[in-house]
């Protein structure tokens, strides 16, 4: 990941990723990869480069920076969107959640928040206990000297 260039990404997208992810039927027996999936994978890769220190704008001279930010990669994405639309791809909105699914999602988020709060309380309790032990130990050492 440290040596990936924008050209590498474009080759990967056009020769491997897009052909392997075609699944949206556009008629006439043709399938395309939904353009939003390409945008999503590009975004995902962008965030993968950040922990590696590749957070700067791409610099073609030094071959440093985040290769997903290069205009070449963005042009490829725009061109692919246009080509998919020419082949008959139509963007579809996400299927809305039912009231039951919304309730399940909210319950899950609430449970996660409660869990995190309990973890934080336990962690803070452990830190407080460790701190009090350290203070007691320090006091004992001071008394002995």
Residue 24 in domain? yes
- The average pLDDT across 116-136 equals 67
Residues 73 and 11 in one domain: yes
Residue 70 in domain? yes
Domain that holds residue 80: 6-86
User: How many domains, the chain?
Assistant: 2
> pTM (2 decimals)?
0.61
Residues 69 and 21 in one domain: yes
Residues 74 and 123 in one domain: no
Q: To which residue do tokens 């040596």 refer?
A: 3
Residue 46 in domain? yes
pLDDT in tens, 89-112: 887 766 676 788 777 867 776 777
Residue 107 in domain? no
pLDDT in tens, 9-44: 999 999 998 988 888 788 777 888 889 989 999 998
Residue 110 in domain? no
Residues 122 and 82 in one domain: no
User: 71, 55 in Cβ contact below 8 A?
Assistant: no
Mean pLDDT of the chain: 82
Q: Residue 36: CB partners within 8 Å, gap ≥ 6?
A: 91
């Amino acid at each position: 990941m440290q040596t990936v260039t924008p050209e590498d990404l474009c080759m990967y997208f056009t020769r491997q990723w897009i052909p392997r992810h075609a699944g949206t039927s556009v008629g006439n027996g043709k399938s395309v990869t939904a353009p939003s999936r390409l945008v999503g994978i590009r975004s995902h890769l962008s965030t993968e480069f950040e922990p590696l220190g590749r957070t700067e704008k791409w610099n073609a001279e030094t071959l440093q920076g985040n290769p997903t930010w290069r205009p070449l990669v963005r042009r490829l994405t725009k061109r692919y969107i246009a080509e998919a639309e020419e082949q008959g791809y139509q963007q579809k909105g996400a299927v809305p959640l039912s009231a039951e699914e919304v309730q399940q999602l909210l319950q899950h988020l609430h449970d996660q928040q409660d869990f995190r709060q309990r973890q934080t309380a336990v962690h803070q309790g452990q830190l407080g206990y460790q701190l009090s032990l350290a203070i007691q130990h320090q006091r004992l050492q001071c008394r002995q000297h």
